[in-house]
Structure 1
Amino acid sequence: MSTGVLGGGKGARSLPSRPGVRLAGTGTAVPATRLTNADLEAIMETSDEWITQRTGIRARHVHKVELGETTSGLAIAAARSALSNAGMEGSEVDLVVVATMTPDSPTPTVSCGVASAIRTGHAAALDLNGACSGFVYGLNVAHDLMRAGSYRAALVIGADRITRHLDYSTRGRATSVLFGDGAGAVVLRATDDASKGIIAQAMHSDGEGSRHLFIPYTREDFPPEEEFEEHKINRVQMNGAAVFKFAVGTFSVLIERTLSKAGLSPEQVDHYVCHQSNARILEAARERFGIPGEKMPMNIDRYGNTVAASVPLAFDEIRRTGRVREGQKVMFLAFGAGLTWGSSLWQL
């Protein structure tokens, strides 16, 4: 084990007692293999029309073990892309937060691997499992630690390799058509401008709904009233109707309450970057609040539901087109297994 100077980053300097936080860079990474609806038609009883009409998904990227693609590898690639976009070196980062529900192993954490790979030099590193809400949770946690003056630069990454937990047979089609793998990252930097950063946030959970979406590892993980089936072990189990109802109801309330906390109307927010779970859910929220399509980006048609990666993937896409500018307001929103949901409204 290496020894020496403790603490990540180089060129330490004092910070104001309540520094602002700015989004300095973004990056993404997806596996090389693209799986289309036509590909799924060839291996299970489904159709492109059925999938597209119900979800809006046309394709997704999936990892291949034989190519050595891992959750850590995706997270590291996204981190390097974000650092390059920010014009920074890994040695400037002193906090790494990785949101994932599919680490390569229980320990060590994905974040430790990222911190080492980008050569942070003893940066704080933690993994956070909030399922599809994980990236938004991680963004809020990292921001608040930086606001407290504890860290100068942070990497927040959402990375998941969820397809390892899918059943690509007809019996598993209800879930396997929905998901894809990927990673997205943002770089946060402390700034003397205290107006920059989060102006409203929310994080919630409801464990009563935990059985609506879960991955059982053993027979004991199944509800007593449910008949045990061996093929369900280590595979995503979802009550689609219950999850859809939860998402539609929660999503609108989350937007409403976050706007209320900030004292803003819907039109005062420039971008709503949402978890890409289902096109119908996003369209329902957009119509309810009268949000123009260009303010609520959707890329679910090309990536599917990438769990914790979906929000940073969507944000990176619009940011690199030049649509995201200094001084704008961006609301990040997500909901997922747990059940969990959260928001993060930023002044850029």
Structure 2
Amino acid sequence: MNALGDRIAIIGCGSATPTPVMTNDDLAHLVDTSDEWIRTRTGIGQRHLASPEISLSDLCAQAASEAMKMAGLTASEIDLIILATSTPDDLFGSAARVQHLLGASNAVAFDLTAACSGFVFALVTAAQFIRTGVYRRVLVIGADVLSRWVDWSDRTTCVLFGDGAGAVVCQGTAEEDRLLGFELYSDGQQHDSLNLAYEGQEKSLKDGLRISQGTYQPITMNGREVYRFAVAKVPEVIEKALFRANLSTDDIDWLILHQANQRIIDAVAQRLKIPSEKVIANLEEYGNTSAASIPLALDEAVRSGKIKNGDIIATSGFGAGLTWGAAIFRWGT
């Protein structure tokens, strides 16, 4: 095993969002809603939406470039790229295109799909490659363009989602392992609560041989069930990850949850008895950016000077699948 490959440090972050913005007042011209209605129920004030000429891969490359710059690495030094997304430009995956855009010619690249839990799942996956000494420098990207899969006439979902990308660079180190603990879960029994489902029509190719051809339908969600699920499961999974890290909630410097709904964020923090001044939230500006939401919030907090080297951060992603997970890490080197 590589002597520098059995511990992990998270040494750089970056993010990218499209320039065009859709405010709550703008949405009120599309559906029966209002700024007050949306803010009261979600905490969201606006969301950034990718124009037709902007691809998911473009956003990923921008975020990844910023993360590598902070880490002091060039693209040729990256060994592995893991892209967590549910909305690739190509159904076969977009990680390899991101690798090409970055010029990371020495890196292997693959997509990972776990919806809004994707970044946490990808971070934990990256850690396994580093801890076994297989790869030393891993780029983890969380990105989604859910605006392309929203029914813009459905006010229960179109008010929620925005587009963006966030990335971190993980590196093997001989020093303290900075991924302190994690816990991951899935429950397919509740998969109907949040879907971006395939819908096809039967087609007969010859006698006795039938297939289905179609496309994916807009997002559908049972908001009440997703809220109940998140408020119940997220505090529990964070506590389990803290137990694995031999830490308590008092040791947490910052809590960064998937930015789904401000009421969920507030309820989880209250159940964990984490004061609001330790909670990082930016969904008022960006809405729910799915797999991008945690690294996007992390990047803003690091660049603003809020998160400092050595701070302990508790993160948790939760969403379709249903999937949920938590990771506790110490920021920086």
Shorter chain as denominator, the TM-score bin is over 0.9
Match of 2:177 among 178, 187, 196: 196
Query: Which amino acid letter does the alignment assign opposite residue 42 of structure 1?
Result: H
The match for 1:333 is 316
Match of 2:111 among 114, 127, 138: 127
Determine if contact 2:119/2:141 at 8 Å carries over to the other structure: yes
Residues of 2 paired with 1:44 and 1:60: CA distance? 16
Match of 2:145 among 153, 161, 181: 161
Residues of 1 paired with 2:66 and 2:309: CA distance? 20
The match for 1:186 is 168
Residues of 2 paired with 1:216 and 1:49: CA distance? 31
Determine if contact 1:143/1:197 at 8 Å carries over to the other structure: no
Match of 1:247 among 210, 217, 230: 230
DSSP-derived class of the 2:189 partner: helix
Shift of 1:260: 1.9
Residues of 2 paired with 1:18 and 1:125: CA distance? 19
- Alignment pair present for 1:149 and 2:136: no
Match of 1:61 among 20, 35, 48: 48
Residues of 2 paired with 1:17 and 1:317: CA distance? 29
Match of 2:85 among 72, 96, 100: 100
The match for 2:56 is 71
TM-score (norm 2): 0.92
Query: Cα deviations across residues 157-182 of structure 1 (Å, max 9, x unaligned)?
Result: 0010001011112xx11001000000
Residues of 2 paired with 1:261 and 1:204: CA distance? 15
Q: 1:18 to 1:78 in 2, by over 3 A?
A: closer
- Alignment pair present for 1:85 and 2:70: yes
Shift of 1:296: 1.4
Shift of 1:142: 0.3
Shift of 1:18: 4.9
Determine if contact 2:5/2:135 at 8 Å carries over to the other structure: no
Mapping 1:160-309, distance limit 5 Å: 160-169=144-153, 172-193=154-175, 195-219=176-200, 234-309=217-292
Mapping 1:308-327, distance limit 5 Å: 308-327=291-310
Determine if contact 1:273/1:315 at 8 Å carries over to the other structure: yes
Residues of 2 paired with 1:347 and 1:19: CA distance? 16
Query: Which amino acid letter does the alignment assign opposite residue 280 of structure 1?
Result: R
More divergent stretch after superposition (195-204 vs 238-247)? 195-204
Residues of 1 paired with 2:314 and 2:270: CA distance? 17
Residues of 2 paired with 1:51 and 1:347: CA distance? 34
DSSP-derived class of the 1:218 partner: strand
Residues of 2 paired with 1:90 and 1:76: CA distance? 11
Computed over aligned residues only, the root mean square deviation of the Cα atoms, in angstroms, reads 1.7
Shift of 1:261: 2.0
Query: Which amino acid letter does the alignment assign opposite residue 190 of structure 2?
Result: G
Gaps of 5+ in 1: 1-13, 221-231
Residues of 1 paired with 2:117 and 2:200: CA distance? 27
Shift of 1:64: 1.2
Determine if contact 1:115/1:122 at 8 Å carries over to the other structure: no
Structure 1 runs of 4+ off > 6 angstroms? none
Determine if contact 1:133/1:341 at 8 Å carries over to the other structure: yes
DSSP-derived class of the 1:31 partner: coil
Match of 2:38 among 43, 51, 55: 51
Query: Which amino acid letter does the alignment assign opposite residue 34 of structure 1?
Result: V
Residues of 1 paired with 2:4 and 2:60: CA distance? 31
DSSP-derived class of the 1:125 partner: strand
Determine if contact 1:203/1:342 at 8 Å carries over to the other structure: yes
The match for 1:7 is none
More strand by share: 2
Determine if contact 2:16/2:60 at 8 Å carries over to the other structure: yes
Query: Which amino acid letter does the alignment assign opposite residue 132 of structure 1?
Result: C
Determine if contact 1:163/1:179 at 8 Å carries over to the other structure: yes
Determine if contact 1:17/1:148 at 8 Å carries over to the other structure: no
Identity percentage over the alignment? Answer: 41
Determine if contact 1:115/1:125 at 8 Å carries over to the other structure: yes
Shift of 1:250: 0.7
Shift of 1:17: 6.6
